[in-house]
Amino acid sequence: MLVYDTAAERNPKVLKTCRKYLHWTQRSVFQGELSTAQYRALITALRATIDPDYDSIVTYTTRSPDLIDTTTLGVALGGPGDIL
Amino acid sequence: MLVYDTAAERNPKVLKTCRKYLHWTQRSVFQGELSTAQYRALITALRATIDPDYDSIVTYTTRSPDLIDTTTLGVALGGPGDIL
């Protein structure tokens, strides 16, 4: 799972990179299941995109999706098939 | 961990409720360690606040914070001491 808070001018590139590896959940949130190699590639691509003095990206990872319980209140916005 | 995407007019109340139980991480993201009772109280308060046909709140919970690895790229925006 990944959340981003980046400058508007870099958002399109950050979104493009995130969408390559993850699916969109909500506003500034992506999630997905990645191999270690895919995760490393995502992090490398994001590091090359953001301004580390201004932007912020936080990722939350677990060994298995079974370890996380997800609860949605209200509308379920994202999904594997959604296009942002 | 909680992410919200709610209408602007309800944001202040959603933020107030989230801040009562969690600390702010980034933009629309909160996180924190809650007991089951605290978590239930938070969910009940949020259900009473949002418009379920329009707003969206997603929570991600694990049994232990040890099960989650957090990686920050760029600026670390939130923290237990930060006030939004």
**Domains: count for chain A:** 1
Any domain includes B80? no
- In this prediction, residue A49 carries a pLDDT of 93
Mean pLDDT of the A14-18 span = 93
Any domain includes B81? no
Return the CATH number at B50: 3.30.70.240
Question: How large is the ipTM?
Answer: 0.81
- In this prediction, residue B51 carries a pLDDT of 93
Q: Tell me how close the Cα of A77 comes to any Cα of chain B, in angstroms.
A: 7
Residues of chain B with pLDDT under 70: 79-84
Q: How far apart are CA B82 and CA B5, in angstroms?
A: 21
CB-count exposure of residue B26 (10 Å: 0-12, 13-18, 19+): buried
Any domain includes B59? yes
- In this prediction, residue A79 carries a pLDDT of 55
Any domain includes A39? yes
- Does the distance separating the beta carbons of A52 and B61 come in below 8 Å? no
Any domain includes A74? no
- Select the more confidently predicted residue: A73 or B84: A73
Any domain includes B9? yes
Q: Does A11 contact chain B (CB < 8 Å)? A: no
Residues 6 or more apart whose Cβ sits within 8 Å of residue B34: B21, B22, B42
- What proportion of chain B, given as a percentage, has pLDDT over 90? 61
Any domain includes B76? no
Any domain includes A44? yes
- Does the distance separating the beta carbons of A3 and B26 come in below 8 Å? yes
pLDDT band at A13 (very low <50, low <70, confident <90, very high): very high
- Does the distance separating the beta carbons of B55 and A68 come in below 8 Å? no
Using alpha carbons, select from A1, A25, A4, A20 the residue that is nearest to residue B74. A4
Which residues constitute the domain of residue A12?
A: 2-64
Mean pLDDT of chain A: 88
Q: What residues of A are in contact with residue B67 (Cβ under 8 Å)?
A: 62-63, 67
